[in-house]
């Protein structure tokens, strides 16, 4: 145990440290507020439309992304850009969520039974 602790402290400077950027609870709260705001939004039959991925229209976000899951499909419509979102010049994070943000909330929902 002491050897492991010594090795840990010897490699301390090699570890990658990231500064926290906002509260993760705020990101999850934004998903559920957006779900309430877009509860009456209808999605096309094929389920495809113009999605917001977090950086720009049709541009893959840089960094770590989560893969899309088919569970909790009612949250998928939060990424679709409707007429109200398209008419605004700025993105309202409490109405339009990125794909990665929705997948994070889905992951937390899957952990509730545990």
- Domain membership of residue 16 (yes or no) is no
- Domain membership of residue 85 (yes or no) is yes
What pLDDT shows up at residue 80? 83
- Domain membership of residue 67 (yes or no) is yes
What pLDDT shows up at residue 33? 92
| Contact status, residue 97 vs residue 34, Cβ threshold 8 Å | yes
What pLDDT shows up at residue 93? 83
Q: What is the mean pLDDT of the chain?
A: 80
- Total domain count, the chain: 1
What pLDDT shows up at residue 61? 47
Q: What are the φ/ψ torsions at residue 73 (nearest 5 degrees)?
A: -65, -20
Which residues span the domain enclosing 42? Answer: 22-111
Quickly tell me which residue has 């229209």 as its tokens. Answer: 57
CA-closest candidate to residue 95, choices 109, 75, 78 = 78
- Domain membership of residue 56 (yes or no) is yes
Radius of gyration of the chain (CA): 18
What pLDDT shows up at residue 58? 41
Residues of the chain where predicted confidence (pLDDT) is lower than 50? 57-62
């Amino acid at each position: 145990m002491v050897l492991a602790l010594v090795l840990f402290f010897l490699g301390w400077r090699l570890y990658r440290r990231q500064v926290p950027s906002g509260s993760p609870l705020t990101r999850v709260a934004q998903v559920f507020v957006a779900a309430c705001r877009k509860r009456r939004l209808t999605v096309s039959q094929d389920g495809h439309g113009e999605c917001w991925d977090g950086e720009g229209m049709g541009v893959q976000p840089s960094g770590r992304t989560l893969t899309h899951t088919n569970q909790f499909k009612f949250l998928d419509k939060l990424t679709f850009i409707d007429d109200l979102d398209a008419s605004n010049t700025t993105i309202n994070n409490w109405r339009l969520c990125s794909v990665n943000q929705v997948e994070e909330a889905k992951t937390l929902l899957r952990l509730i039974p545990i």
